[in-house]
Chain A
Amino acid sequence: METSLASAPMLRPSTWPDALQSRAEHPDAAPICGGTDLMVDINFGRSRPAALLDLTSVEGLDSWELIDDGSTVRVGAGVSFTTIVEELSHLCPALAQAARTVGSPQIRNRGTVAGNLATASPAGDAHPALLACWAQVEVESLRRPRLIEIDDFFVGPKSSALASDELIRAVRVPAATGPQQFAKVGPRNAMVIATASFALNLDVAGRRVGTGIGSAGPTPLRARQAEQMLEETLIDRWDSPGAVADDVIRRFGALAGEAASPIDDVRGSAEYRRHALAVLARRCLSWTLADLPGASARQVARS
């Protein structure tokens, strides 16, 4: 027993091409970076991969850079949530706020956005912010590199568009051009898997509204009707929104709740989740409107 167990290898590529090679040659090896999802399954005997493909030594994977003339943040697959909180709160406010709510300091020091994506849990904290920002996932295999739009990435509960020979290399997040917010509810303030979560992105430069819903459907979702309604409301007011009527904010919350398809489970009932989402969406909208240049004093006071 000991011999066979001890022989399970750990692959530790130090370059990205070697990582792709290892992925192709060892399809049974489970990729691991922070380990905050995979090691739990291993510790509890739910997963027994034939080998581990450790990505923590791959050169350059744990750094981020600005691309597209500074309009996009390319976050390497090995960048920890702690780094996102400390370094990206201005460029990617919603993602940084979501990162701040992940687990505990110990978990944020190890966990990564790419790991969040690879697990593809509907409750992944990064997902609503990535949806709200129209992020793209940079994946690669020996066959080819490709970019997956975030809207096409999640295909089911804990299931993604990632092919079995592919690795996530980076996530491309458009840099914020206006206020963004993320909000999440759960039984306590720390170490919580979301009961429901919501992200909102007011893309002032693009005159677009982006949303993301977490923990309230088989996959992370977008509240399309809420986005459309708010875009129509702001259409000629992006630069001087003044006071946005309370019924717009209420309608936005209601549409966010309706966009979800939650279930009853141990973390909350479907009915509670819809209600919580409406509240989270209203809060996010009030906060972001207050941060828009030209917001009225009344909206500021709401925040």
Chain B
Amino acid sequence: MKVNVTVNGVDHSVDHVWALESLLDFLRERIGLRGTKNACEQGECGSCSVYVDGVLVCSCLVAAGQVEGCSVVTVEGLAPDRGVHPVQQAFLDAGAVQCGFCTPGMVVAAHCLLADDPVPDDLTVREQLSGNLCRCTGYQKILDAVYLAAERAGAAPSRQGSRP
């Protein structure tokens, strides 16, 4: 099976894709983008979060063939030229990363929540990140990072960017 898909703005046409292959495996093994992490493979942990046509999804629960003709954005594509997005910078500055395995998914989910609600309240942040598990940080530094990113975006709204 052939799959044509745009990933982080680059068109890909990939042959010999297994029909039951997940988008997660497709991104990591066929496209070579290993920022998207494989942890639970059942949609519980959110570490494989990506955008498909602007919608936040767990890539482990999407069949690769379902994204035919779609635009996928992974953690590598949040900032142009593989730079550091303000949300990523906020995670670094707030010390929101320990082992780092949940971080890419957490960053994509945080990016999505701030794109939808640039000044989120605590309840919204907790709800919107409820599908992303972290087993190291106890979450407080992650929440701090989200507020830091929101605060900085408020100071310079043009930096925040919109949902891809």
Q: Which residues of A contact B (CB under 8 A)?
A: 2, 5-10, 12, 32, 34-36, 39-40, 42-44, 48-49, 51-52, 54, 56, 103-107, 109-110, 189-191
Give the contacting residue for B131; candidates A7, A12, A43, A191; CB below 8 A.
Answer: A191
A-contacting 9-mer, from B54-62, B78-86, B92-100, B149-157? B54-62
Number of A-B contacts (CB under 8 A): 102
With contact pairs A49-B20, A107-B58, A110-B61 given, residues A32 and B43 touching in the complex (Cβ less than 8 Å): no
| Distance A48 CA – B20 CA, assembled complex (angstroms) | 8
Chain A CB within 8 A of B19 CB = yes
Q: If the complex has contacts A9-B19, A105-B130, A105-B131, are A39 and B65 also in contact, measured as CB distance less than 8 A?
A: no
Chain B nearest CB, measured from A145 CB (Å): 26
**A39 near B130 (CB under 8 angstroms)?**
no
- Cα A105 to Cα B131 with chains together (Å): 7
Choose from A9, A42, A104 the contact partner of B130 (Cβ within 8 Å).
A104
Q: Contact partner of B41 among A8, A10, A40, CB < 8 A?
A: A40
A43 to B49, CA, bound (A): 16
A42 to B41 alpha-carbon distance, docked (Å):
10
Q: B residues within 8 A CB of A7?
A: 1
Is B22 positioned at the interface, with any CB of A under 8 Å from its CB?
yes
Complex A-B: 15 CB contacts under 8 Å = A9-B19, A32-B63, A39-B60, A43-B60, A49-B20, A54-B65, A104-B46, A104-B130, A105-B109, A106-B43, A106-B56, A106-B57, A109-B55, A109-B56, A110-B58
Residue on A nearest B130 in the bound complex, by CB: A190
Contact of A8 (CB < 8 Å), options: B18, B42, B57: B18
Determine whether B127 belongs to the interface, using a CB cutoff of 8 Å to chain A: yes
Measured between C-beta atoms, what is the minimum distance from B142 to chain A in Å?
Answer: 15
Q: How far is the CB of B80 from chain A (nearest CB, A)?
A: 25
Most buried by A among B56, B66, B68: B66
> Which residues of chain B have C-beta atoms less than 8 A from A34's C-beta?
61
Which residues 80-132 of B sit at the A interface, judged by CB distance below 8 A?
Answer: 109, 112, 127-128, 130-132
- Given A6-B1, A106-B57, check contact A40 B131 (CB 8 Å): no
Given contacts A39-B61, A56-B66, 10 further A-B contacts (CB under 8 A): A6-B17, A10-B66, A39-B22, A40-B42, A43-B42, A52-B20, A105-B130, A109-B55, A110-B58, A190-B127
